[in-house]
Each structure stands twice: as structure tokens, then as C-alpha cells.
Amino acid sequence: MDPQSWWRLWREMARLRPDLVQAWGPAANAWGLAAAKTCGVSRFVCRQGAAPARTVLGHAVDRWIARRSDAVVVPGPAARDAQIACGLPAGKIHVIPDGVAPRAAVGTRADWLARLGLGERSLLIGLFGPLREAQRVKDAIWAADLLKVIRDDVHLLVFGDGPHRERLLRFRGQVHIRDKVHFLGQRSDALDVLPHLDVFWSASASGESSGGILAAMASGLPVVATDVPPTRELVVPGETGYLVRVGDRAGLARWTQQLLESPDLARRLGEAGRRRALGEFSAEKMARRYAALYDELLM
């Protein structure tokens, strides 16, 4: 609880007097709803993620917010079904997939390798946080260790932060793979490095990494990820990447090794992923869907 933050938000809403407020994410949903209602905002839209809250309290808060919102936006059918199963009212739920826009590459691969202190022949795998239990970053470290047995040129770059950071750093030391797994923290330039990676990973058990997967696909990267419903809506196995069971570290390493050994295959899957991301999940399509929802609510 931070009354000062609530006061600043309330004061800004009171100044703007918006007809509709859109909030994105759990904290924004709670703060935004509280400020919007006390300011007399007529319409409130909250956005729930690909995975429902993990605790009883989280479920209760989500239901409380949903009942007081005019619409609840989720990124896909799997998220819609999960929210309904958690007790959210189906009539308020609207599916609007996340959108991405094409991004120009920033810098060169050589620049990034030098910045990371890696050799020019290094191969790079990316993984986005947050660093908590559901992301199963430990599985990714195990998979990187398996790859290290096969080849000595692969590096796993872990972007993001979270409550399990120290635990994961200790585990990395225990399996003696400090030289191959790099925790880069919360970086504003994380998306800039995507076009210079070779493969993108998601070991998540919940599908929280769907935004990172979509950004990686838009950057032309083949994706190797866990077979959970939100990810299944993005990655087409054998066409834009590969899916493995949650906890299948050997599968994560095996499919990645195949991509690294076959640059033509990796390039073909990456290009197919780019076309899918920018075609079916474009930022323009997302914006039009939100505009249509806002028009409907404000009529």
C-alpha cells in the first residue's frame, strides 16, 4: 500500500477527466480502478495476462476487479478459458491478442558480443524473465548445461529480474556453468538485442513469456518453448519453432542443437515466425480491436 502513489494517480486523473481508463497488469488494474472510481470515470477496462493469478488472494483480487470493470481484456482463448475457470464473468471478457511492430536492428552482432564480453564465434540464446518459480529458469540452466557437453560456443542470456534471482545464481554456480549462463537483469535495451540472437527460449509453466516469444518471432528468431496453452497459440511446431513438455530439459537442448547445426532451418523457421507475428499479431490489428472495444463501451 502506497497512499502517496494513489494520490498522484488520482490527481492526474482528476486533471485529465478521461471518459475511459485502461489498465494493464495486476498492480495497474488495482491502482487504476481505485483512482478511476473515486474520480468518477465512467468506463474502466482492465487487462489480465496469459496466466491467472497463482494465489487464492490473487484470484479474489482479480474477481473483485473484474466485477467492477466494464470489460476485461485477455490475450487469447487459453487466457479467456483460464479466467472463466477462476470465476471471472464470461460476458465481460474480450480476447485481444498482443501486438508487435517491426523493429530495426540496433547495432551489429559484433557490437553486442563485445559489449557482453563474448567471443565473435559465440552463439546466443535468449530468455526473458521475470525470475520466479513459474518461469522455470532452472530448467533452462540445466538445458544450457546439456548443450555445454555437446559444444562450447553457446551462451544463454537471461533478461529480467525477480524474487528467485539469488537462488538461480547459486544454482548456476553449483552446476559450474557461470561462463555460459549470463544474468543481465532488467535492461531497457533487451528488445534491441533480439535480432542478434540465434534462438529464443521459454521454459515457462504458465505462459507468462508470451510477450517475449511474440517479440522474438517478430525479430525473426526460431523459438523453442514449453507446450502450454498461451504458447501454443503463438508457436507452430515445425513451422516457427518447437514445443517441448514443461520440464523437458533434454528436449529444449535437443531442438536447439538441431537449429544451431542447421542455420538454413533456423532461418526458415525464423522467417516464418516473423511473418506470423507481423501478420496475425500486428500492433495495427491490436490497436483496431481496442478502438472498437472503446467505441462500444462509450456509445
The string of pLDDT tens digits covering residues 183-199 is 999 988 889 999 999 99
Assess contact for 201 and 221: CB atoms under 8 A.
no
Return the pLDDT at 55.
72
Q: Does some domain include residue 180? A: yes
The strand pair at 93-95 and 71-74 is best described as parallel
Domain that holds residue 71: 3-98+282-298
Looking at the structure, do residues 121 and 269 belong to the same domain, yes or no?
yes
Return the pLDDT at 53.
64
Return the pLDDT at 22.
94
Return the pLDDT at 283.
94
With a cut of 70, which residues of the chain have pLDDT below it? 1, 51-54
Per-state percent for the chain, helix, strand, coil, to nearest 5: 50, 15, 30
Q: Does some domain include residue 103? A: no
Work out how many domains the chain is built from and give that number: 2
* Residue-wise pLDDT tens digits, 132-145: 888 999 999 999 99
Residue 51, domain CATH = 3.40.50.2000
Looking at the structure, do residues 22 and 152 belong to the same domain, yes or no?
no
Return the pLDDT at 137.
94
Looking at the structure, do residues 91 and 114 belong to the same domain, yes or no?
no
Looking at the structure, do residues 144 and 91 belong to the same domain, yes or no?
no
Cα–Cα distance, 242 to 235 (Å, whole number): 7
Residue 130 preceded by cis peptide, ω within 30: yes
Looking at the structure, do residues 266 and 124 belong to the same domain, yes or no?
yes
Looking at the structure, do residues 272 and 151 belong to the same domain, yes or no?
yes
Return the pLDDT at 54.
66
Radius of gyration of the chain (CA): 20
Looking at the structure, do residues 43 and 74 belong to the same domain, yes or no?
yes
Whole-prediction pTM = 0.88
Looking at the structure, do residues 80 and 145 belong to the same domain, yes or no?
no
- Please tell me what DSSP assigns to residue 206: S
C-alpha closest to that of 172 among 215, 143, 205, 134: 143
Looking at the structure, do residues 170 and 275 belong to the same domain, yes or no?
yes
